[in-house]
Structure 1
Amino acid sequence: MTELSGFPTLKPAIITKVHVADVNPLGVLHNGSKMTHYGTPTGTIESVPGYEPSFKADVVFGADWLSFDPDRKHGRINLKGIAKTDKGFSIDFRYKGVIKMADEVHQIFDMDPEMHTVPFGYATGAHTFLVADPELKDLENSVFVSNGRILVHEKGLTVETRQSLVIASTVMD
């Protein structure tokens, strides 16, 4: 069997954590999906050891316009936010993804008292960045994909994504 070539690889790069603050149900839309706006005004974005450019930023604004498919099997993430680096620069960050709505995930979005942290494996997505800091411009010119999870804790909910840089293959068939 011939080994497949030309596929990209992934390099661990960034961990983002946003804290859910308020929930604003919008209701059923024209396409039958149900939308809820989740405010995520605080959190952190931080590069992992070994990833360059290295940086840390605090989330100062964020919200997810999350929609749920009519069959309740998937959720559609549409998170937008602003973070400030420790050097004072702003980062516009965006996250679009899909959540497999397993029973454990439904418990969280239904605010079931028995809800608990949902592990990685239910949410995947893509991330984009707009930055003013010249040292972080590579973020704008790169592609990032992620796994996500929802942490349930005494202060509420935190959405965590672990993002990897997509590295283009140089191997040809």
Structure 2
Amino acid sequence: MVKCGFNTLVPAMVFKLRIWSLYPMGELPTGGLWSNGNGVGTLVSVPGFEPFLNATTVHMDDFNVRGSADGPYTLNAQGILRTDDNHYLGLYGKGLLANTPHVQAIMANETDVQPTRWGELDTFTTWTFQASGPYAELTKSTFVANIRIAPSDNSDTISYIDYRFSKVLPGPACEEGKDDVIETVWNAGEL
């Protein structure tokens, strides 16, 4: 299979959030809901990822919309983090969160519900940074994240959400005549 022209992913960071509030903001004409969640947590680079990052949230907001009762949640997260060397970073995330029965059970705080498994949710989010100084390189990158959700274990928590960020890198360039498989399928209208 020809791999040229397709992006690759590199494991980069783990973002662990404790959602401590969820404010219902209203119903939508479609029967869905609009709400805001606040969280606190940490963002840490995986070994080998540069620039190394160890940060704690100063503030984290997520305005989310669920367009219909069984539709996915549309995430729109933004926050400020402070690194362990006293730099501030802006963090922005967007994407979808599947509204499966398992997610609904966690959000309803049902008893004996287990966390979702990594890869269980057919969903993803994209993340970007606003940064300067030693972290300026982060602003030139886009990250995608897999999501895991865990239920509350105390009265001060709505849920826990963990993200595994991967940095998106451009794939290898296509050489003349090496992309024949993709071009043939594309031109035949099969893609």
Judge same fold: TM > 0.5, yes or no.
yes
Considering fraction of residues, name the structure with more helix: 2
Among the aligned pairs, what percent are the same residue?
26
User: Can you list the C-alpha shifts for 1:9-50, whole angstroms capped at 9, x where unaligned?
Assistant: 10000111111111111121356531121111x200111101
Answer whether contact 2:62 2:77 (CA < 8 A) is retained. yes
Instruction: Work out whether residues 20 and 37 of structure 2, in 8 Å CA contact, stay in contact via their aligned partners in 1.
Output: yes
Q: Which has the higher strand share?
A: 1
Larger Rg: 2
Aligned residue type for 1:105: V
Structure 1 residue runs of 5 or longer lacking an equivalent are none
1:152 deviates by 2.5
Q: Which moved more, 1:50-59 or 1:71-80?
A: 71-80
| Letter in structure 1 aligned against 2:2 | E
CA contact (8 A) 2:109 2:152 kept: no
2:125 is aligned with what amino acid? Answer: G
Contact 2:20 2:38 in 1 (8 A): yes
- The aligned length equals 170
Letter in 2 for 1:73: G
1:74-132: per-residue Cα shift (whole Å, max 9, x none)?
Answer: 11111111110001111111111111111100112223234331122313110011113
Extract unaligned runs of 5+ from structure 2: 180-191
**Which residue in the other structure is 2:43 paired with?**
45
- Indicate yes or no: 2:158 matched with 1:160: no
1:129 matched residue in structure 2:
129
CA distance in 2, matches of 1:89, 1:36: 30
Query: Equivalents in 1 of 2:12, 2:168: separation in Å?
Result: 10
The CA distance in 2 between the partners of 1:149 and 1:26, in whole Å, is: 24
Quote how far apart the aligned CAs of 1:3 are.
2.6
Structure 1 counterpart of 2:144: 145
Would the aligned equivalents of 1:107 and 1:114 in 2 still touch at CA under 8 Å?
A: no
Distance 2:25 2:66 in 1: 11
- Report if the CA contact (8 A) 2:107-2:151 is conserved: no
- Tell me, what secondary structure is at the counterpart of 1:112? coil
Q: Find out whether 1:113 has 2:111 as its counterpart.
A: yes
Structure 1 length-normalised TM:
0.90
Of 164, 168, 171, which residue of structure 2 is paired with 1:169? 171
Say whether the 8 Å CA contact 2:65–2:75 is kept in structure 1: yes
After superposition, the Cα gap between the structure-2 partners of 1:139 and 1:67, relative to the gap in structure 1 and judged at 3 Å, is: same
